[in-house]
Amino acid sequence: MDSIRLLTVDDNAVIRQGLRSLLETEAGIEVIGEASTGAEAIQRMKRDPADVVLMDIRMPIIDGINATAAIMRIDPQARILILTVSEDPQTLARSLRAGARGYLVYSRFTPEELLQAIRSVASGQEIAPSPAVALAMATLPEEESRAEYLREQQAADPLTTRETEILDLIAEGKSNAEIAQALAVEEKTIKNHITRLYSKLSIGSRYEAIRLRLAHLR
């Protein structure tokens, strides 16, 4: 690529300005925008995708982990690098599980290391997690993380009322024909709704839909 287009996401304006000051003078890197919340980052990525997103974790409305998950549903090839003050292995593991290509912890990296990480992620590479984070990833329950994403990311890409009704009926074990009868619509219409809600939730089967819905209701 000619120039790496960056989106910086952090609720702290001082940090966003500091990143811009550091990066905008670097050859081959262009800061195309900033976002102060995860929800704002999702909308910006829908309108004008960046090559690399520098994502904070702790933000209001939608945090960086859920924003990462939502962006990855929009574009599975998105390249997100987490920049955070958190050193908690499970928190960092959840960010990688959500789809981030790597993370850097503030005070633990130099400007040169940040630039190298940006270039690595932009080229499609992943930054290897520390042993503690790798262990946390291996032990993090899939349904717990996916359910947490579902709880918060609906603000960014919510299911419609009809899609929610259908998801509830799927969770009750209803077939497509039974759902169509219950909602007084054609079965083809139900299939179309299911296709859309599967896409929004990044799932591919009724089993996953039932598991995710039940975990969400816990």
Please provide the average confidence, as pLDDT, over all residues in the chain.
85
Mean pLDDT of the region 137-158: 59
Torsion of CA 55, 198, 75, 19, to 10 degrees: -10
209 shares a domain with 130: no
64-74 vs 38-47: helix crossing angle, rounded to 10: 20
Range of the domain at 181: 159-217
In a domain, 149, yes or no: no
* pLDDT at 70 (0 to 100): 87
For 150-172, write each residue's pLDDT tens digit: 555 555 567 788 988 898 888 77
Q: What is the CATH number of the domain that holds 176?
A: 1.10.10.10
Is residue 59 domain-shared with residue 133, that is, in the same domain? yes
Task: Pull the structure tokens for residue 22.
Answer: 């550091």
From 105, 139, 173, the end of a domain falls on 139
Average pLDDT, integer, range 10-29: 92
Residues 123 and 33 in one domain: yes
pLDDT of residue 140: 67
For residue range 107-136, what is the model confidence (pLDDT) as tens digits? 889 999 999 999 999 998 888 888 888 877
**CA angle, 210 then 214 then 218, to 5°:** 170
Name the token pair of 185.
């619509």
Distance CA 50, CA 77 (A): 11
Q: Given a cut of 60, is residue 66 above it in pLDDT?
A: yes
| DSSP state letter for 129 | P
Domain boundary among 104, 139, 174: 139
H or E element at residue 96: helix 89-98
pLDDT for the residue numbered 135: 79
Q: How far apart are CA 25 and CA 21, in angstroms?
A: 7
- For residue 109, what is the enclosing H or E element? none
Question: Does residue 143 have a pLDDT over 60?
Answer: no
71 and 42 Cβ atoms separated by less than 8 Å: yes
The number of distinct structural domains making up the chain is: 2
